[in-house]
Amino acid sequence: MNKIASKIGEWILFVFTLALSILFLMPILVVLMNSFKGKFYISAAPFKLPTVGTFSGITNYITGLTRTGFLSAFGYSVFITVFSVSVIVLLTAMTAWYITRIDDKFSKGLYYLFAFSMIVPFQMVMFTLTKVANTLKLDNPIGIILVYLGFGAGLSAFMFCGFVKSVPIEVEEAALIDGGTPVQTFFQVVLPMLKPIMITVAILNTMWIWNDYLLPYLLIGNDYKTIPIAIQYLKGGYGSIDMGAMMAMLVLAIIPIIIFYLCCQKYIIKGVAAGAVKG
């Protein structure tokens, strides 16, 4: 009887999980499906598959690439995302190692400062941030990297701190006894052991920065359009939108992030569990 109940429970869980997966994937499938429809047919039947009469081939993709300057926006998005994530991962890993290993009031205060920064909503600092960024000449693709570092450091350092606590300090002491400097110990001993949480932090920040619209719009605007900003140029006068081209550009925008996520997904649960529970 227990075996039958267990089997029924497993099937119910499987069906529920499958239904939930389909529900989460549905928006992506709808966008992909509508990217091959004529723009006049999308609003009328958004959930219907393309037919002979509604299928538009790659016309929407060509229109979107032409009107948005997608390739240029793609380049800016890649540059900002790659360097922002790299800076966040490296510097917050070093900071978390210092906070965890140095037990004094300064390191504790720094830890709580990072934790507090996670609860401050962006809207509270939006206008002052824009003014400060303009004054310090950070309103460019290089300057915005520092701004992303400020916003991404809180959660990243918090997760790194939890993971570093699980790293045996004896390994570091052995490296120091062998003549290694603190810098050598960090990069040659500690950093390789942080690989799971590094990939987790990289994925979370990549998904955030790649899809971010508000911060690039406020700081770098039309001069250096990222993908989310470029897609907005498909809006015409009086609120008209070329839905076909917009759907096509959304597909192109989400493909890189999906590939990156699929390549690194095996590290996510491992890194999140280690960074959140052990901390």
* Nearest residue to 115 via CA among 101, 129, 127, 99: 99
Type of residue found at 229? I
Secondary structure element (H or E) that encloses residue 142, with its range: none
CA neighbours closer than 13 Å in the CB half-sphere of residue 86: 7
Digit-coded pLDDT (tens) for 94-126? 999 999 888 888 888 888 888 888 888 877 888
* Domain spans of the chain, in order of start: 2-50, 60-277
Residue 269 has pLDDT above 70, yes or no: no
Q: For the domain with range 60-277, which CATH number is right: 3.30.70.420, 3.40.50.10710, 1.10.3720.10, 2.60.120.860?
A: 1.10.3720.10
Digit-coded pLDDT (tens) for 134-150? 888 888 899 999 999 98
Q: Which tops the pLDDT comparison, 268 or 231?
A: 231
Residues 6+ apart with CB under 8 A from 114: 95, 153, 154, 157, 158
What pLDDT, on the 0 to 100 scale, is given for residue 148?
92
Residues 6+ apart with CB under 8 A from 113: none
Cα distances from 209 to residues 25, 31, 63, 253, 263, in angstroms, run 21, 21, 26, 12, 18
d(CA 81, CA 263): 17
Contact between residue 35 and residue 247 where contact means Cβ atoms under 8 Å apart: yes
